[in-house]
Structure 1
Amino acid sequence: MQKPIGFYRRQEDVAIVAAKTAEDDVQWIFDFCGKFNCTAYVYNMDPLSENGLEKPYFYQGREASAYLAHIVDHYDNLHNYTIFIHGKEEQWHNDIAGPKTHNLLANLRYEAVQVNGYTNLRCASTPGCPSTLFQQNPQNHDQQYQYIVDQLPEILHYLIGIDPINFPENIGHQCCAQFAVSRTQIQKRSQADYRKIMTWTGTTDMTDNYGIGWLTEKIWHMIFGMPPELCQAEEQCRCDLYGWCGPNPLTGNVALIPIS
């Protein structure tokens, strides 16, 4: 692994937006930003207030309500790069240098975020690729929320204006709702659009709280203007995002070239 290159040096360049549940210890985020000069916005997803934490507009919608509240409130003065993460430091879906999100963030290459506009922090293809709607090994919750998939053309027409008649045959992208987005990419969609999406996630009764998070996890890349199928090869993803470029057996024993 390359030596951590750290965050952009000026504090205003990078924001970390995190959704905190009641049991999450989020001190690591503030410690991390103290070391790397980023700005932490931690949203308390428990209605009980907690000093020093941000409040979302809605408590329904899991991390979606936190992420969208930040965009709505800071739309005109967004940081150059915003990283959206879960509050708990260790996540099973972190696939670079162990389960700690700290290790992902310390090695993230902002050249890739700048060029792509949006990038998931996970490179492993499954779950989510090649199809997040029709997975090869669906879990119980995937079967439980199949009714959302059945209504997806209407939902995405309302949320982001996709024509139900020309609805994509497939939607594919890595899980699990942790990603980095440039200010330019976020602002390609209007503030009013984000407010509309936020209000829907916070008030809809078409599914439960978990179901809203399950849905938005599958469409964040589309909300930020990316194509429905966004499944980069794992080895090139690790090279682009984290500098893991080989040569090694996974790269065919050749050194890959990172995006820049």
Structure 2
Amino acid sequence: MRLSYRVGAAALIIFAIVLIKRHLDLIQDDAPVLQSGWNFGSFTGDSSLSGSSPNNAPSDSSKPKSSKPKLTGDSNSNGYANGNQKDDALASRPIYETTPIIVPNDRIIVMAKLASEDTNWVASDLNEWRNIIYTVDDESASHHTPKNKGRESLAYLQYIVDHYHDLPSTIIFLHSHKDGWPGAWHTDTMAYSNVDSVRALQTDFVQRNGYANLRCQQTPGCPEEIRPFRDPPQPGKTTERVYAQAWVELFNNTDVPEVVAVACCSQFAVSKEQVLQRPLEDYQRYYDWVLNNRLSDDLTAHVMEYSWHIIFGQEAVYCPDAYQCYQDVYGNPYFW
């Protein structure tokens, strides 16, 4: 009888041990696991983990903050037994490779258009470029100029004035026509295509040179389109007759060149660095001149057509060899 009591007691003890062990296992499984949000860059004596949740939600100051987890071997308030251990720990921290952040689409096409013109081709065919298109004859458009003056000139200058402090690296100033004759007669590709010319543009050359005329054929415009002091004036050269006075008003000096020449026709690319070579006040003065001068729309546009290259750092006569121009601007001396 006494033996049966002993066997029963032993069985109860074993059963109790099993229950206690299972209970301890459950407690261990439910224990909170330290999140991996430990900042390897914050090994300072007064730093601690905030009570924020893993998803970076704002912390609740009413909740107690957990203390900084100690590293193995901690024996003082800084979490290091001595200076050598601290140095060893810092040296053993993981080193991660980093990838530099590249601003996407750090280039833009700036364009002027009439409300009646369809420029959807820019976004569909040149979607690797950002774009901003100013409607010059509709003040209800999302981007517009105050009035239709100087053809594309006011839109080009408005972009620079509005975005002087946040310009992308490369800016193309482009007409609203896509391709074809006669609308795009001055575009240097076999199909007179602005899409083809933009796709072929060598942006590294734009960055090196600061300015790139998208037309390489030298006529019209070179070798001496404007002679401000020609006497007597050449018949039909109306832009030439007003250029000297326009120069004084635009550039605020009387150093009018004897000859001004560049291949037409106000389609070009510039770098951010080149734009910033002039202060914002200069572009504001050009903008005010285009907006308020008493010249006709056509004359205003032609004065600017033969001034853009000078504004962007080139000599008054900018007529590079056509083959060299095609090589520099489009990467192929026989591009056209």
Residue 150, structure 1, aligned to residue 241, structure 2: yes
**Matches of 2:177 and 2:330, distance apart in 1:** 21
1:203 corresponding residue in structure 2: 292
**Matches of 1:129 and 1:11, distance apart in 2:** 37
Q: Could you tell me which of 75, 93, 98 is aligned with 2:191?
A: 98
What is the root-mean-square deviation in Å for CA atoms of aligned residues? 2.1
1:221-240 deviation digits (Å, cap 9, x = unpaired):
01112110100000011011
2:16 corresponding residue in structure 1: none
**Who wins on radius of gyration, i.e. which is larger?**
2
Q: Could you tell me which of 162, 173, 178 is aligned with 1:73?
A: 162
Matches within 5 A, 1:210-225: 210-225=298-313
Letter in 1 for 2:178: E
Q: CA deviation at 1:153?
A: 2.3
Q: Could you tell me which of 262, 272, 282 is aligned with 1:193?
A: 282
8 Å contact kept, 2:246–2:303? no
Q: CA deviation at 1:126?
A: 0.3
Letter in 2 for 1:235: Y
2:150 corresponding residue in structure 1: 61
8 Å contact kept, 1:153–1:162? no
Residue 129, structure 1, aligned to residue 222, structure 2: yes
Q: CA deviation at 1:143?
A: 4.7
Q: CA deviation at 1:48?
A: 4.8
Show structure 1 runs of 5+ residues with no match: 1-8, 135-141, 251-260
Q: Percent identity?
A: 32
Letter in 1 for 2:285: K
8 Å contact kept, 1:32–1:102? yes
**Matches of 1:107 and 1:162, distance apart in 2:** 38
**Matches of 1:223 and 1:196, distance apart in 2:** 12
1:31 corresponding residue in structure 2: 124
Letter in 1 for 2:159: H
Q: CA deviation at 1:85?
A: 0.6
8 Å contact kept, 1:46–1:59? yes
Q: CA deviation at 1:43?
A: 0.4
2:84 corresponding residue in structure 1: none
User: Which secondary structure state, in structure 2, belongs to the residue aligned with residue 151 of structure 1?
Assistant: helix
Residue 109, structure 1, aligned to residue 202, structure 2: yes
Change (3 A) 1:49 1:112: same
**Matches of 1:41 and 1:105, distance apart in 2:** 15
Change (3 A) 1:26 1:94: same
User: Which secondary structure state, in structure 2, belongs to the residue aligned with residue 82 of structure 1?
Assistant: strand
**Matches of 1:113 and 1:119, distance apart in 2:** 6
1:44-67 deviation digits (Å, cap 9, x = unpaired):
0113523xx411244212100000
Residue 175, structure 1, aligned to residue 264, structure 2: yes
Letter in 2 for 1:108: L
Residue 43, structure 1, aligned to residue 131, structure 2: no
Q: CA deviation at 1:152?
A: 2.1
Letter in 1 for 2:240: V
**Matches of 1:98 and 1:161, distance apart in 2:** 41
Q: CA deviation at 1:190?
A: 1.1
Q: CA deviation at 1:76?
A: 0.3
**Matches of 1:12 and 1:157, distance apart in 2:** 38
Q: CA deviation at 1:22?
A: 3.1
1:169-213 deviation digits (Å, cap 9, x = unpaired):
2111000000000000011111111011111101111x2111111
8 Å contact kept, 1:174–1:231? yes
**Matches of 1:169 and 1:71, distance apart in 2:** 28
Letter in 1 for 2:218: S
Structure with higher RCO (Cα < 8 A, 6+ apart):
1
8 Å contact kept, 1:145–1:211? no
8 Å contact kept, 1:11–1:39? no
Letter in 1 for 2:307: I
Bigger helix fraction: 1
User: Which secondary structure state, in structure 2, belongs to the residue aligned with residue 114 of structure 1?
Assistant: helix
Letter in 2 for 1:120: N
How many pairs are equivalent?
Answer: 225
User: Which secondary structure state, in structure 2, belongs to the residue aligned with residue 150 of structure 1?
Assistant: helix
